[in-house]
Structure 1
Amino acid sequence: MKRKLKLILFLISIPLILFIFYWGFTYFSFSFEKDVSKGKLTDTLLSPDGSRIAKSYFDVKPGALGPTIVIVEIVNNETNKSKIIYRSIESYNFSMKWENNNILNIHGHKLNVDNEIYDESGNACNSLAMKNQYKKCYKGR
């Protein structure tokens, strides 16, 4: 009887361990660059001093009711380096405007493009792989 119980516990523990490993790996290793497709470029906006360009992309998921994922990427014109600072599911009235050279207002979220990000899902905020890429991370509801 003990042997049978041990076998059952062993067989149950294997899928559980695999699930925990998969969840931990995907949850803590999330990265905008690796895990987000940008979609179609919809708008570009030059910063007031001309040093950066904000680019918005819409990635429409298949199906009539599929969500539209909005990505905002900042490109530094001097170094030509880019980084994604915003990811959200939007349905209508997406907007972005520069408040000053460092603050970009994206659909009501004011982000310092040097060290803040917004990820509606919260995956970027929880990711150990992204912790050194920002000082403050905002997540959706």
Structure 2
Amino acid sequence: MIIILFGLLISFITVILLLILCTRIIISLIKKKPFPKGLLIATLSGVVLVSSIYVYETYFFTFSDIDRESTQKGPGPITSPTGAYTANAYYELYGGAAGGVNVWVDITNNNEKNKVQTVYYSDAKSNISMEWLDEDTLYILNDDPNYPNSNRSIELEIGKEIYHENGLACKSLLMKDQYETCYQN
């Protein structure tokens, strides 16, 4: 979150520097004044910094950015038919009073020293539940019947598939080894 706020601040400053640079270039052309090299370097540095933050946020995403300290417990725990996996859902509040709620599902592998993997992350809708369809397939219902385009429900094969609503996990270079198929909205 801090990186995003820092990126927004740098973006704002860079846009202002770009406007000043354009004005100075026009003035230097009209009045035959020297080219504003320092301002050009400062503006280009801002562009490079903002681009670097974008690349980092997009291609180096992990679920560790979830605010796990101010969460609420969601549906679960539900254990798979043979007891190999346990699914837990959690809610993450964002945006204060005018914000919303995200939901994520963690799968605990009870056979591998309680290894936990996040397999689902989305905006929470009014109707959320989970059900094991078989030992390795979890059905996550995340829907609001009043809004037809709000359905974020999915069947996931544990250990092979994950879902991230806006696709950050699908683009992440750090997470490519954790799944075979990544779904996004």
Q: For the residues of structure 2 that align with 1:119 and 1:105, how far apart are their CA atoms?
A: 15
Q: How does 1:70-85 map to 2 (within 5 A)?
A: 70-79=103-112, 80-85=114-119
Mapped contact 2:73–2:90 kept (Cα < 8 A): yes
Letter in 1 for 2:98: L
Contact 1:67–1:91 under 8 Å retained in 2: no
**Where does 1:33-112 land on structure 2 (aligned, <5 Å)?**
34-38=64-68, 39-42=71-74, 43-79=76-112, 80-107=114-141, 108-112=153-157
Partner of 2:163: 118
Cα distance in 2, alignment partners of residues 109 and 70 from structure 1: 13
Query: Is the strand fraction higher in 1 or 2?
Result: 1
Give percent identity, aligned residues only: 33
Query: Per residue, is there more helix in 1 or in 2?
Result: 2
Unaligned segments of structure 2, at least 5 residues: 1-27, 142-152
* Matched length: 139
CA distance in 1: counterparts of 2:39 and 2:94, whole angstroms: 41
User: How high is the TM-score relative to the length of structure 1?
Assistant: 0.90
TM-superposition CA deviations, 1:55-82 (whole Å, max 9, x none): 0111122533321110100001122111
Q: Which runs of 5+ in 1 are unaligned?
A: none
Deviations 1:38-67, CA, capped at 9 Å, x for gaps: 422222111011111000111122533321
SS in 2 for 1:4: coil
Give the number of the structure whose alpha-carbon radius of gyration is greater. 2
Q: CA RMSD in A?
A: 1.7
